[in-house]
Amino acid sequence: MAGHDSTIYRSSTTAPVNIAVIKYWGKRDETLNLPTNSSLSVTLSQADLRAHTTASCSDSYPHAQGDTLTLNGTPQDIRASKRTLACLSDLRILRRALEDANPSLPRLSAFPLRIVSENNFPTAAGLASSAAGFAALVRAVADLYELPQSPSELSRIARQGSGSACRSLMGGYVAWRAGSKGDGSDSIAEQVAPAGHWPEMRALILVVSAAKKDVPSTKGMQSTFTTSTLFPTRAKSIVPERMAAMETAIRNWDFKSFAEITMRDSNNFHATCLDTWPPIFYINDVSRAAINLVHEVNRIAGKAICAYTFDAGPNAVIYYLEKDSMQVLGTFRQILKPETEGWGGVEPVRDLMDGLMATSTGSMEKLAAGVNRVILTGVGEGPEKVKNHLVSETGEILIGSGN
Amino acid sequence: MAGHDSTIYRSSTTAPVNIAVIKYWGKRDETLNLPTNSSLSVTLSQADLRAHTTASCSDSYPHAQGDTLTLNGTPQDIRASKRTLACLSDLRILRRALEDANPSLPRLSAFPLRIVSENNFPTAAGLASSAAGFAALVRAVADLYELPQSPSELSRIARQGSGSACRSLMGGYVAWRAGSKGDGSDSIAEQVAPAGHWPEMRALILVVSAAKKDVPSTKGMQSTFTTSTLFPTRAKSIVPERMAAMETAIRNWDFKSFAEITMRDSNNFHATCLDTWPPIFYINDVSRAAINLVHEVNRIAGKAICAYTFDAGPNAVIYYLEKDSMQVLGTFRQILKPETEGWGGVEPVRDLMDGLMATSTGSMEKLAAGVNRVILTGVGEGPEKVKNHLVSETGEILIGSGN
């Protein structure tokens, strides 16, 4: 076949999870994943939680089969995922524009894609992996296609895969501007500060096993948007004020304000869930125990040394600063069961225990009973290009290759 | 002593509990107990829950000791209770006006009061008794003083004892108008409809034992008023709309609307508690299980046959109509432990159980584990004058006399 190119083109990336401190909840446009309000997150280190994705394409891949996606070893029905199709379509359009401008480039946009992705999240941790997954997918294909677009420009595409994925294209402290345009062109992520600006930010994740499957966030946020009488106030006035205050707090390394805004925004978001009809509950009595203990720890410590936040599930993410590691981690190590997984070398610290025992034995018992695993992590960098490919030089899918 | 009157004047009353369907939460004036928003409640039958109070006065009671109050057999320090003093002072002023206009009346306003009160609430039920208590106190003294004021006029006085007490001065369906005047003169209770208008309204109370003492409502509502970013929306726009809709629902015997407004308003109120800083939690996982089950029961029944509401604590009050008694009570009887107290002759009903078991086994187990007692009651009448006095003809305090 004249001009046939049998090269296997490959590019691989890892991408991080992010945990919002100002929450995204509610879409003004479902297809484009345009949010009702801006949000802000901390990108977490990929040493602990990451998606690893290889995008490859070749004219030698069966054209009839089209694009394929293998996720954690399982082939996905890509045609059933409008969100994945939307991302790949937009990336191909950008590649085609490059090819049209420079006919010497290989016509990668015409080749089937073979995408393989894995993540290293603890199973049953109930951590949302879609943000990291879609960020890795978009980043890997953009690298494969050698697209010149910036992470903010690519965030428009990743957003269509999963709203919060747009924030995982950058490291550090990232804002997703809601934007106001109908086509979503101004609904993009921007880095507020790189990880290196405030590298001392750490996160302790308390993995709470939920007995019941939660309402999926896409369905939940639509229901809140449609039925909650309090939600418009949150979207229109509360969040915009908090975005500004949070950016100032981050710029000024002001953990006290960071902590209060983070906790208040988590509570505010879950309040609108409770106000949804019928009501949605993501936090349970174990989550409440974590909330009570964080407030008590801060009270006894005499200042805010830790701050909770909860996504659409009962897991607590507790932000704190490196300098308070011993006290924060040691206290929770002391509170939780000795056999809790994930502590590494953290030693129990009893400094605050007398105070906690005076007020919070119920919360301590509840938390210990409900948490079997913790994850220790911290602020981290954005997606990283890696040489460890999940597709071989000859196009075979490689599973579990050193992830 | 010339003109000395050694008569023991006595009047006794019982007064009911009320459970709001549009919640009172937040004071615009703490001293006068003026609320930020109107509220609406159902007065519950005194056959099940009531305060019983005797007000007596006599020139022969020791003047130096002043007024006395004995509550459930325990003498209270009346001087430490500004709220009680405010009620008694206002009642005395009204009596004095009568005496001034008609000098032939005995000068009761100058005599020390001896007030004795008891209630028949199950101990540890965690049911707010202050509404019934202050309503009975005000009604008994007003009767003793032979005051001509209407229940609405007296509600201004009872409100100063405990906000929700003003709604316990009337039977049936009672609105407390927030009013707008600074002196509170337009902040009064009004009967929306007598019990006889819609006598079929019933209530099942699920008594949920709370491990932890809740934040007292006076403190909690002040904290919500001061710190919640969502509360102003509730007070200014959500509640006024719901008051109008609820009054229409009651006038039209529209249980579907009554149920939805009741449940949404309870959720909305608890959402503002969660949005309080630091957050306040009154409902727990057992309460959540009751919420989920009410929604599931209604879904499986194909219409709203029951509606939950929660005050400042985890107990569920479930309203339903007499015609649905067998299904509502029988289903909860089936769900709860067989040894649960308070069911009387209610038989388990299995009609809805297959449906519930398909979706809600977790909630059923949670509810059964957390509820040891139920109270069956329904809409009832306002305070009733009774001849059963808790003070003898000679002025002695009688305790436990047939309450």
- pLDDT tens-digit readout, A26-35: 999 998 999 9
- Residue A403 confidence (pLDDT) above 50: no
Specify whether B98 is located in the same domain as B165. Answer: yes
Tell me what the mean pLDDT of segment B152-158 comes to: 97
Specify whether B275 is located in the same domain as B173. Answer: no
pLDDT at residue A2, rounded to an integer: 43
Residue A182 is part of a domain; what is its CATH number? 3.30.230.10
pLDDT at residue A3, rounded to an integer: 57
pLDDT at residue A4, rounded to an integer: 72
Angle, helices A361-370 vs A325-335, to 10°: value is 80
Could you report the per-residue pLDDT of A192-244, keeping only the tens digit for each?
Answer: 999 999 999 999 999 997 555 678 888 999 999 999 999 999 999 999 999 99
Three-state DSSP class for residue A10:
strand
Residue B303 is part of a domain; what is its CATH number? 3.30.70.890
Specify whether B185 is located in the same domain as B230. Answer: no
Is B402 part of a structural domain of the chain? no
Specify whether A369 is located in the same domain as A342. Answer: yes
Is A403 part of a structural domain of the chain? no
- Residue B123 confidence (pLDDT) above 80: no
Could you report the per-residue pLDDT of A36-77, keeping only the tens digit for each?
Answer: 999 999 999 999 899 999 999 999 999 999 999 999 999 999
Specify whether A302 is located in the same domain as A172. Answer: no
Q: Which residues of A touch B275 (CB under 8 A)?
A: 264, 267-268, 271
Tell me what the mean pLDDT of segment A157-171 comes to: 96
pLDDT at residue A48, rounded to an integer: 87
Cα radius of gyration rounded to whole Å, chain A: 22
Q: Pairing relation of β-strands A113-119 and A68-71?
A: parallel
Tell me what the mean pLDDT of segment B323-335 comes to: 97
CB contact under 8 A, A230 and B288: no
Is B1 part of a structural domain of the chain? no
Which residues are A51's β-sheet partners? Answer: A15, A119
Which residue in the set B268, B278, B284 is minimally distant from A285, CB to CB?
A: B284
pLDDT band at residue B1 under the 50/70/90 scheme: very low
CB contact under 8 A, B267 and A288: no
pLDDT at residue A378, rounded to an integer: 98
Supply the range of the domain harboring residue A143: 9-194+382-386
The residue of chain A with its CA nearest to that of B242 is A229
pLDDT > 70: percent of chain A? 96
- Residue B2 confidence (pLDDT) above 60: no
Which residues are A56's β-sheet partners? Answer: A10, A114
- Residue B189 confidence (pLDDT) above 70: yes
CA distance B58 to A229: 55
pLDDT > 90: percent of chain A? 91
Specify whether A169 is located in the same domain as A260. Answer: no
- Residue B120 confidence (pLDDT) above 70: yes
Specify whether B143 is located in the same domain as B208. Answer: no
Say what the ipTM of the complex is: 0.93
Is B32 part of a structural domain of the chain? yes
Tell me what the mean pLDDT of segment A78-89 comes to: 95
Query: B interface toward A at CB cutoff 8 Å?
Result: 211-212, 229-230, 233-234, 238, 260, 264, 267-268, 270-272, 274-275, 277-279, 281, 284-285, 288, 291, 295, 362-363
pLDDT at residue A402, rounded to an integer: 47
Is B2 part of a structural domain of the chain? no
Is B3 part of a structural domain of the chain? no
Q: Which residues of B touch A291 (CB under 8 A)?
A: 279
Could you report the per-residue pLDDT of B278-300, keeping only the tens digit for each?
Answer: 999 999 999 999 999 999 999 99
Specify whether A15 is located in the same domain as A148. Answer: yes
Number of domain units in chain A: 2
- Residue B72 confidence (pLDDT) above 70: yes
Q: Which residues of B touch A278 (CB under 8 A)?
A: 295
The answer to whether A67 and A149 have CB atoms below 8 angstroms apart is: no
pLDDT band at residue A125 under the 50/70/90 scheme: low
Which residue in the set B267, B272, B275 is minimally distant from A279, CB to CB?
A: B267
Tell me what the mean pLDDT of segment B128-138 comes to: 91
CA distance B178 to B194: 20
Specify whether A210 is located in the same domain as A266. Answer: yes
pLDDT at residue B209, rounded to an integer: 73
pLDDT > 90: percent of chain B? 91
Specify whether B299 is located in the same domain as B362. Answer: yes
pLDDT at residue A124, rounded to an integer: 52
Is B262 part of a structural domain of the chain? yes
> Would you give the DSSP letter of residue A27?
E
Specify whether A119 is located in the same domain as A175. Answer: yes
pLDDT at residue A157, rounded to an integer: 97
pLDDT at residue A126, rounded to an integer: 61
CB contact under 8 A, A230 and B277: no
Q: Which residues of A touch B233 (CB under 8 A)?
A: 229-230, 233
pLDDT at residue B216, rounded to an integer: 86
CA distance B70 to B65: 14
CA distance A263 to A344: 27
Specify whether B315 is located in the same domain as B349. Answer: yes
Distances (CA, A) of A100 to A149, B242, B323: 16, 61, 74
- Residue A364 confidence (pLDDT) above 70: yes
Could you report the per-residue pLDDT of A332-360, keeping only the tens digit for each?
Answer: 999 999 999 999 999 999 999 999 999 99
Which residues are A53's β-sheet partners? Answer: A13, A117
The answer to whether A321 and A200 have CB atoms below 8 angstroms apart is: yes
pLDDT at residue B82, rounded to an integer: 94
Is B393 part of a structural domain of the chain? no
Tell me what the mean pLDDT of segment A123-147 comes to: 87
